[in-house]
Amino acid sequence: MQTPSSPPLHPIKTLENSTVSPPKGSVPDTSIPLNSFDILWLTYGAVQRLFFFKLPSFSTSHFISHHLPTFKSSLSLTLQHFFPLCGHVRPSSSSPDHYEIHYTDGDSVSLILSESTGDFQELSGHQPKDFKKLHPLIPSLTKESTSLMALQLTGFPNHGGLCLGVSIKHVVSDGTGFINFVKSWAATNLAGVPKFTPPLLHRNIISDSEKLYSVNLEAIRLMEAKLKVFSANVDSPDDELVCATFSLNKEDIKKIKDSIMSKYGSGFAAPFHCSTFVVACAYMWTCLIRSRKWPSERTAHFVFAVDARPRVTPAIPPSYFGNYLGCCFTEVKVGDVMDGDGVHVAAEAIGKAIDELMKHGVLREAEEWPRKLMALSSERPLSIAGSPKLGVYEIDFGWGKPVKVEVTTIKETGAMSMAEIGGGGGGGGGGGIEFGLAFPKHEIDAFQTCFTAGLQLL
């Protein structure tokens, strides 16, 4: 919700402030210990997503009487399986310096119903827009709050739309778990009964070590005390930030890939896996470096998470609800990506870093990740929030699939959000990727110039 010190840009009215719990007595009091991969996020704030749905005949009164009861009951039934979202993190009573998620019967999540007179088309559009216009739609979940999730539904009766805001503390789950929860809730709301694979909650299926736990716990304490990791925009007030979506359709990606492959000659394969992810990220990274006009001798860094579930032996099921991410680091010299071969240089750096990660194991040097992240905190590294594999545009509560999904957390981190192109996306449809950025206006303008010019040269 909008903070008292920041007046709303479009009138927003709170209609109901409620809480939703799993069905009473359906879940016993439970404690789930945090493992090494969870503890890294102990002091991290919430990951926030906004899902915009187009409902041409939306009426607040009709929604409250016909849809809200089902929306709440489906949430309750889903939370019966995803009950950690209703709990809170506390120190473990049995293990010093360890933490756990504790759930007690009756624990709940907050759900706010509100109404806005704002322009739904503008807010759900891909064009550059002031970040502050999205702020009233984000459910509040501060770092200090003991809650792990908050929800907000905002209707736009004058413009035929609905926005679902979801804030989830990263300590409870990574993006795969986050979206699995929302998809499970949507499927239950659509079917009227739970219709999903129950999440795996217990951490004992993850290989862990006390040494890694201790390293990560000490690291997050140092980060909290000294650094703001990847807080690229932390000194930029919302008034100065602009968010925008940039899309690469299937044809764009093919042209970029063909351009990269041409460097190796006809009939020769690239010396790295030249995937859609590699190609798209290389193009965006190159545009970002060029737009910032850094000195040629500077080193630019790219850091991204990798879902470890399918990449360990034995593989962990995708239904595992928790954090299980690997970390991949790569870098280039700014001067090497400023000319026409820049995308090729960036793609080779990313592709070879991924190949090394797959060769030696996705969790290789996990004890070194915190040190590396802290060392890069002042370098404005590019990082990624989300993945096309999450399928955020496949979510359907019965109102149709979202026309736009925003990851508003990128305002704090300076990361680049990434998803498949959605129904409201620009040109190309299936096979394309959209990226979200949130930077001061002059940086967005400079990036847009590089992005557009680069595509015209393909």
Catalytic center residues: 170, 396
3-state secondary structure the chain: CCCCCCCCCCCEEEEEEEEECCCCCCCCCEEEECCHHHHCCCCCCEEEEEEEEECCCCCHHHHHHHCHHHHHHHHHHHHCCCHHHHCEEEECCCCCCCEEEEECCCCCEEEEEEEECCCHHHHCCCCCEEHHHCHHHCCCCCCCCCCCEEEEEEEECCCCEEEEEEEEECCCCCHHHHHHHHHHHHHHHHHCCCCCCCCECCHHHCCCCHHHHHHHHHHHHHHHHHCCCCCCCCCCCHHHEEEEEEEECHHHHHHHHHHHHHHHCCCCCCCCCCCHHHHHHHHHHHHHHHHHCCCCCCEEEEEEEEECHHHCCCCCCCCECCCCEEEEEEEEEHHHHCCCCHHHHHHHHHHHHHHHHHHHCCCCCHHHHHHHHHHHCCCCCEEEECCHHHCHHHCCCCCCCCCEEEECCHHHHCCEEEEECCCCCCCCCCCCEEEEEEEEHHHHHHHHHHHHHHHHCC
Instruction: Count the Cβ atoms, other than its own, within 10 Å of residue 270.
Output: 17
